[in-house]
């Protein structure tokens, strides 16, 4: 009996020692995955890209797009208090694009990605993009249905970029709607006469912003709960 107990103790010590080594420990780290699907497209023409490849952060192939630009697969991650993973989209003749995710632990998650890749003939990869939405349905039909809103968004961003090129304006009218714009975001407002606080020192109409500040100097902007103005802008 004593010999059996000693053998069990020896086995436990060996197991503990192995568990401390990273290679053995990784085998016992709970591995989970995110189910994904989506479409990879040309960021300029918004047409699907066939044979685009999706990789995880370890370089493992997740999926390859078909002739509709559609892909589906699983992204593995180790559960250590949250969900952390990367997806890299690649296609010959295009800049690669990496999407980084850092989420709270949401349990079993399924999501749709739309990757827009820019051709390497461009000046930079500033036109590459990704959009994501949670969805239980990862079929091509579901992905395609959400693609319409992506196209609308990209059309708006294109118009916004054109409106803001070669100027430092802050207030814009695009498609009969009014916007306050910084270099990092935008606010849809209701009227050119909406009151805006600038650094909490001056309150002016939105339409007067272009005479007072430049877009590149905006540090932060947001809607306001003040009774005196609807929006707040802070400059550097």
Instruction: Tell me how far apart the alpha carbons of residues 121 and 47 are, in angstroms, rounded to a whole number.
Output: 17
Q: Is 81 exposed, middle or buried (0-12, 13-18, 19+ CB in 10 A)?
A: exposed
The reported pLDDT for the residue numbered 22 is: 47
pTM for the full predicted model: 0.68
Model pLDDT for residues 142-155, shown as the tens digit of each residue: 999 999 999 998 88
The reported pLDDT for the residue numbered 53 is: 98
Q: Is 94 exposed, middle or buried (0-12, 13-18, 19+ CB in 10 A)?
A: buried
With a pLDDT cut of 90, the percent of the chain lying above it is: 66
* Side-chain half-sphere CA neighbours of 98 within 13 A: 8
The reported pLDDT for the residue numbered 31 is: 57
């Amino acid at each position: 009996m004593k010999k059996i107990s000693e053998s069990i103790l020896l086995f436990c010590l060996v197991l503990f020692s192995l568990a401390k080594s990273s290679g053995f420990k990784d085998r016992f780290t709970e591995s989970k995955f995110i189910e994904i699907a989506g479409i990879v497209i040309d960021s300029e023409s918004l047409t699907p890209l066939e044979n685009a490849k999706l990789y995880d952060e370890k370089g493992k192939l997740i999926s390859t797009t078909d002739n509709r630009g559609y892909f589906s697969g699983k992204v593995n991650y180790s559960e250590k208090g949250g969900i952390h993973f990367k997806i890299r989209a690649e296609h010959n003749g295009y800049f690669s694009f990496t999407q980084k995710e850092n989420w709270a632990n949401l349990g079993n998650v399924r999501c749709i990605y739309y990757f827009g890749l820019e051709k390497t003939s461009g000046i930079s990869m500033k036109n590459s993009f990704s959009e994501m939405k949670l969805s239980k349905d990862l079929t091509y039909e579901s992905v395609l249905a959400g693609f319409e809103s992506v196209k609308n968004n990209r059309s708006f961003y294109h118009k916004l970029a054109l409106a803001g090129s070669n100027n430092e304006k802050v207030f814009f009218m695009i498609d009969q709607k009014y916007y306050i714009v910084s270099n990092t975001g935008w606010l849809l407002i209701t009227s050119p006469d909406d009151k805006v606080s600038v650094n909490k020192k001056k309150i002016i109409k939105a339409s007067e912003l272009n005479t007072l500040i430049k877009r590149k100097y905006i540090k932060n902007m947001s809607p306001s709960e003040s009774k005196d103005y609807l929006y707040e802008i802070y400059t550097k």
